Amino acid sequence: MLSQICQRLMVQDLPGTTNCRGPFDVIRKVVKAEGFRGLYRGFGLTAVYQSPASALWWGSYGAAQHILWRSLGYKDDMENKPKNVEMVIVQATAGMVAGACSSVITTPIDTVKTRLQVMDNYGSGRPSVLKTATTLFKEDGWWGFYRGFGPRFLNMSLYGTTMIVTYELIKRLSVQSS
């Protein structure tokens, strides 16, 4: 529901969207036009793509980290331990690579989900994923599915890098204190 409100406020004044004076106005207008269910438009699609996006991120992160350690001459046994700075650099780089891989694959789904959430289709019946994707393809072709790729890539990469470096640091500190 919060995503729906946020998305609508971000795109107001664009063709096909309703102008709102704030979050409560969004709620009022959506509920009036679509019922309470309208506040959750796109939720199912979000749930469908979050798990694969996370799996892609973690899989890409593990593979990138493995390749980076190998390229630096470290073997699986890790007899000679890398310095903390080196660990952070490898983990941050692997996090960026993971964000890139995940965003390339999941951006089309996110674009359809966002459009489904924010576009006003009141006159053409209840919006659906298929209708939204078809309209997007007709308007912009395949490239339309990658609208917003740059910010999504930065978001996934920076969030992922920050999260993984913090996670790995806490993990190392907890092992050292045991």
User: If you write DSSP's letter for every residue of 80-141 in order, what string do you get?
Assistant: SPPPHHHHHHHHHHHHHHHHHHHHHHHHHHHHHHHHHHH---GGGSS--HHHHHHHHHHHH-
CA–CA distance, 136 with 4 (Å, rounded to integer): 19
Read off the pLDDT band of 121 (50, 70, 90).
low
Say which DSSP state 164 is in.
H
For residue 120, pLDDT over 80 is answered with no
Q: Write out pLDDT tens, residues 66-114.
A: 999 999 888 766 677 788 888 889 999 999 999 889 888 888 988 888 8
Q: What is the mean pLDDT of the chain?
A: 82
Give residue limits of the domains in the chain: 1-40, 42-177
* Cα–Cα distance for residue pair 135/26, rounded to 1 Å: 24
Pull the structure tokens for residue 82.
């890398």
